[in-house]
Amino acid sequence: MHPNTKGALFMMGSMAAFTFNDVFMKAVSDALPLAQAIFLRGLATSCLMLVLAQFLGGLRLRLPASQWRWIALRTATEIGSAYFFLAAIFNMEIANATAILQVLPLSITLAGAVFLGEAVGWRRWTAIFVGFFGVLLIVRPGFEGFTIYSVYALIAVLLVTVRDMIVRKLSADVPTITIALFNAISVTTFFGIAASFTDWAPVSGESLYQLFGAAVLIIGGYVFSVSAMRGGNIAVIAPFRYTALLWALFLGFVVFGEWPDNLTLVGATIIVATGIYTFHRERAVA
């Protein structure tokens, strides 16, 4: 299979897994504080991933120090993005937060040009700036309906962009399962410490089912997202992140009865259209 095709499939799988995980986490937000919810999800995720690593094999912990530094830096961005994005969806409509996150293909294309030297012509530069205008329509700074949690979603975009750039710095000899497992354990540890400073809420059976579902899905998100960014061209693979918006609109409406306002939908449409245009330009250049 061509690396671009494989990367696109992994990206679509990652977006589905992450969006369903977000739905489970938003569902549990009424019962549990943020840090407690992430910590409990992380315990289940880490245990399941250890079992998966034993079953699949390929787990390697003896890596060069330079690779561990990149993995540690990637994990730091993962912790930050998890906090900011989950705080956003705990306090705003899931489709709105996901729509802001759809600027990622544009921000990653921009970062690939600036930091990795990937060729980006004036048409795609224009698409990037138009796409950011779409983000402003969703966030609407200074207008009614603007909240700090819209900024949280934007911070998550920045951190995920850095995270995906770091993956390109990792050696192909570093197993994906090693990166994902270290990521899960580190996130769990961080939010376990944070949760120790908060008042814990009782955990119902329903909350346990929701957290376990989120744990299973986040594993798919971790593994698929790393695999997606390890091969192929970033500009080709990144637009397939937009499938997350379709899932978020559908699940937000079905599960929570949420539907974005017209201006948010216009902004999301602009972002998706400009991202798809960058994909077609990449194909044309190729």
Confidence bin at 156 (pLDDT 50/70/90)? very high
- What is the amino acid identity at position 82? A
pLDDT for the residue numbered 135: 83
User: Poorest-confidence range of 62-66, 157-161, 173-177, 195-199?
Assistant: 173-177
Helices (H) and strands (E) in the chain, counts: 12, 0
CA 226 to chain centre: 11
Which of 32-41, 59-68, 276-285 is modeled with the greatest confidence? 32-41
Q: What is the pTM of this model?
A: 0.80
Q: How far apart are CA 30 and CA 45, in angstroms?
A: 21
pLDDT for the residue numbered 110: 82
Residue 255 pLDDT greater than 80, yes or no: yes
Average per-residue pLDDT for the chain: 85
Residue 282 pLDDT greater than 80, yes or no: no
Do residues 22 and 98 touch, judged by C-beta distance below 8 A?
yes
HEC per residue, 163-206: HHHHHCCCCCCCCHHHHHHHHHHHHHHHHHHHHCCCCCCCCCHH
Confidence bin at 145 (pLDDT 50/70/90)? low
Residue 112 pLDDT greater than 80, yes or no: no
Q: How far apart are CA 212 and CA 105, in angstroms?
A: 30
Per-residue pLDDT averaged across 161-178, rounded?
Answer: 83
User: Poorest-confidence range of 55-59, 104-108, 260-264?
Assistant: 55-59
Q: Give first-to-last CA distance, the chain, whole Å.
A: 18
Q: How far apart are CA 167 and CA 81, in angstroms?
A: 15
Residue ranges of domains in the chain: 3-285
pLDDT tens-digit profile of 42-64? 999 999 888 888 877 777 888 88
Which of 43-57, 74-88, 213-227 is modeled with the greatest confidence? 74-88
DSSP 8-state symbol, 61:
-
pLDDT for the residue numbered 173: 82
Q: Give the angle 218-98-128 at the CA atoms, nearest 5°.
A: 120
